[in-house]
Amino acid sequence: MYKIVEKRALAPQIFLMDIEAPRVAKSAKAGQFVIIKMDEKGERIPLTISDFDVKRGTVTIVVQTIGCSTKEMENYEVGDSFLDFVGPLGQASELMSESIEELKNKKIMFIAGGLGTAPVYPQVKWLNEQGVKADVIIGAKAKEYVIMEEEMKSVAGTVYPCTDDGSYGYKGLVTNKLKELVQNEGKKYDLVIAIGPMIMMKFVCKLTEELGITTIVSMNPIMVDGTGMCGGCRLTVDGETKFACVDGPEFDGHKVDFAEAMRRQTMYKSQEVSKTEGIKPGCGLVGGTK
C-alpha cells in the first residue's frame, strides 16, 4: 500500500498529492511517469512525476479530474493509501543525457499547457540545479487555472503566464506568446520542450517547425502495463511505430504523427458516452493527465 502524505488543491479540478513510495522516489528522474491503481477493481492510471523527495521517500503527482477514475482519486485524502503504485516508467528527460556545458550554451523554452505545468516543473528545477535558467510559458484557460507559478518562478528564468480569457498575464494562446517573443521581442531559443494537451503540443510543433526550433514533446497515450507489454501506447514517430511507455514518453515533436496519436486517444471514448454493442463501457480515459 502506498500512503498519501499530502494533498492540496492547485486549481479547480486540479490537485496535488505526495505519495509514499521510497523505491520510486529513489530512482525517479524528471520526464518519467508512474502508474497508480487505486484499488482492486481500478484501472492502471499513468501520471507524470511532478516532483520527488528521496529523503521523505515521496513522489508528487498532479491530477486533473477528467474521467471517473481521476474523479474517484480526488476522494482520497491524506492518510488513505493506493493499492498499487509503480515506477519510475519511461525514459528520463533527454536533457539529462546532454552535457552540462552543452545545456549552458542553449537557450531553452518550456511550454506548459494546463496540467502540463506539473511535469515541466521537475525539468526546470533540474536545469536550475545544473546552473541553467530556462524560460517557461504557462498556458491556462483563466487565472484560477494557472498552477505552480511560484514554484516555477523560483527555478526558472522568466515565467510568462498566458490565459485564454486574458484574466491573467498575456491574453491568448501559448503559440501566440512564443511567436511574439521570438518575432517581436527578438528572443532566440535553441530548444522548446512542450508538455500539455495533445492539441497544444501539435500546434506548438507546427509553429516551431516554421521558426526552426527543435522541439521535444511528452506524449500521454492510453496504456495498460507501462512496461512495453501491451503496445496500446504505440504511435508513429518519423514513420516508425514506437511505444511511448518504453521509447518515450518524450519524442521529437516535429516527427510525431499527431493526427494518429489524437485519434488513438479516443479508442474507448464511445464507451464513455454509450454502451456500444460488444464494447464494455469504460470508466474514463486515462492519459491526458499530463
Partner 1 sequence: MSIKKRVPIAEQDPKVRATNFEEVCQGYTEDEAVEEASRCLNCKKPMCITKCPVAIDIPGFIQHVKKREFVEAVKVIDKYSTLPAVCGRVCPQETQCESKCILGIKGDAVAIGKLERFVGDYSREHNVDLSETKPKKGIKVAVIGSGPSGLTCAGELAKDGYDVTIFEALHEAGGVLIYGIPEFRLPKETVVKHEVENVVKLGVKIETNVIIGRTVTINQLMEEEDFKAIFIGSGAGLPMFMGIPGENLNGVFSANEFLTRNNLMKAFKEGYKTPIRVGKKVAVVGGGNVAMDAVRTSVRLGSEGHIVYRRSESELPARAEEVHHAKEEGVIMDLLVNPLEILGDAAGNVIGMKCIRMELGEPDASGRRRPVELKGTEFTMDVDTVIMSLGTSPNPLIPLTTEGLDINKKKCIIAEDGTGLTSIDNVYAGGDAVSGAATVILAMEAGKKAAKAINEMLSK
Question: Footprint of partner 1 on this chain (CB under 8 A)?
Answer: 23-24, 26-27, 37, 41-44, 68-69, 83-89, 224-225, 227-232, 234-236, 241, 246, 260, 263-264, 266-268, 271, 277-284
* Residue whose C-alpha is closest to residue 141's, from 196, 201, 217, 74: 196
Nearer to partner 1, 44 or 107 (CB): 44
Compute the least distance from the CB of residue 226 to partner 1, in Å: 9
Is residue 24 within 8 Å of residue 52, measured between CB atoms?
A: yes
The torsion angles phi and psi of 191, rounded to 5 degrees, stand at -150, 135
For 226, residues 6+ apart whose C-beta sits below 8 A from its C-beta are 33, 35, 44, 46, 86, 87, 89, 90, 245
Is residue 160 within 8 Å of residue 117, measured between CB atoms?
A: no
For 39, residues 6+ apart whose C-beta sits below 8 A from its C-beta are 82, 83
Q: How far apart are CA 265 and CA 280, in angstroms?
A: 17
Is residue 289 within 8 Å of residue 17, measured between CB atoms?
A: no
Compute the least distance from the CB of residue 232 to partner 1, in Å: 5
Compute the least distance from the CB of residue 17 to partner 1, in Å: 17
Compute the least distance from the CB of residue 23 to partner 1, in Å: 5
Nearer to partner 1, 48 or 163 (CB): 48
Cell output for 9 = 488543491
Nearer to partner 1, 169 or 282 (CB): 282
Nearer to partner 1, 137 or 235 (CB): 235
Nearer to partner 1, 45 or 109 (CB): 45
Q: How far apart are CA 281 and CA 49, in angstroms?
A: 29
Nearer to partner 1, 136 or 222 (CB): 222
Compute the least distance from the CB of residue 118 to partner 1, in Å: 20
Q: How far apart are CA 250 and CA 217, in angstroms?
A: 5
Compute the least distance from the CB of residue 203 to partner 1, in Å: 20
Nearer to partner 1, 44 or 202 (CB): 44
Q: How far apart are CA 262 and CA 265, in angstroms?
A: 5
Compute the least distance from the CB of residue 215 to partner 1, in Å: 22
